[in-house]
Amino acid sequence: MSSIKTVGIVGAGTMGNGIAQACAVSGIRAVMVDISEAAVQKGLATLQSSLERLVKKDKLSATDRDAALALVQGTTDYEALKGADLVIEAATENLELKIRILRQLDGLLPPETLIATNTSSISITQLAAVTARAERFIGMHFFNPVPLMALVEVIRGLQTSDATHDAVHELAQRLGKTPVSVKNAPGFVVNRILVPMINEAFFVLAEGVASAEDIDAGMKLGCNHPIGPLALADMIGLDTCLAIMNVYFDEFKDSKYRASPLLKEMVAAGRLGRKTGHGVYAY
């Protein structure tokens, strides 16, 4: 498979515009589609201000910024994706929505076009099966914020071909990322290890083993983590952490994935973290 020259992105939100920026800065054309003109313009504005910050910090020249902006197209017209070699679905983490988008893409795109999903939790095998190109379907899980985070999980569904995997793996490297190859499984690699660790921190907190501040200090200083697990839960959103634990519990039917009662109680109280102004910590 020849190398990917144009990438289509469905969704102009945080992940979508971040992926578009990573492509454009690497000299790859990016076509970003969203349902409303307002969403498209907001995505383009975010991308532009992100590039401006890089110029101010002397990490990007003004010439390179202009070259990158020239490679990005924002539109509400799905037809604009027809020229892409790969289309990445980066919509909200909702199964029905993703299935609807993937069926639409599958019907629209030429049969040789690759499709990837940026899901962080939904089965790649299940999503691939709703298309007529399951062997050309793959997971490409970027981390937030995309321009700064070096990792991409490249996730093979049961049906994904070697050629598809290799083309997407190579693209991730061209974007300056470090790809890791992962088999389809709940939570893939990073979240499968990370979220149960966060959940365990809630058990430790509930048992009164240490204060929230001391638990976080312990993991930062003892394990060299840049942020403690409870502060990280507040950033991710406690509701999101709980939802992920519930997925693992349902999928594996293993009690080690049971959600901490304290985590459940805080979600019930509406203390979801930074987005509500209060989680483990007050903001």
123, 184, 191, 199: which one is catalytic? 191
**Strand pairing report for 29-33 and 6-10:** parallel
On the CB side of 120, CA atoms within 13 Å amount to 19
**Binding site annotation covers 13?**
yes
Residue 282 DSSP label: B
**Binding site annotation covers 5?**
no
**Binding site annotation covers 220?**
no
89, 141, 199, 260: which one is catalytic? 141
Active site residue 17: no
Which of these, 226, 245, 241, 248, lies nearest to 275 by C-alpha position? 241
**Binding site annotation covers 211?**
no
**Binding site annotation covers 26?**
no
**How far is it, in rounded angstroms, from Cα 3 to Cα 177?**
16
**Binding site annotation covers 255?**
no
**Binding site annotation covers 273?**
no
Active site residue 118: no
Phi, psi of 254 (to 5 degrees): -120, 125
**Binding site annotation covers 50?**
yes
Active site residue 120: yes
Active site residue 225: no
153, 184, 199, 260: which one is catalytic? 153
Mark 216-254 as b/e (b = at least 16 C-beta within 10 Å). bebbeeeeeeeebbbbbbbebbbbbbbebbebbbeeeee
**Binding site annotation covers 277?**
no
**Binding site annotation covers 98?**
yes
118, 120, 121, 260: which one is catalytic? 120
Residue 102 and residue 129 in contact, taking contact as beta carbons nearer than 8 Å: no
Which of these, 162, 158, 151, 152, lies nearest to 184 by C-alpha position? 158
Q: Report the binding-site residues.
A: 11-16, 34, 50, 57, 93, 98, 120, 144, 275
Q: Report the binding-site residues for CoA.
A: 50, 57, 120
Q: Report the binding-site residues for NAD(+).
A: 11-16, 34, 93, 98, 120, 144, 275
Instruction: Please identify every residue annotated as catalytic.
Output: 120, 141, 153, 191
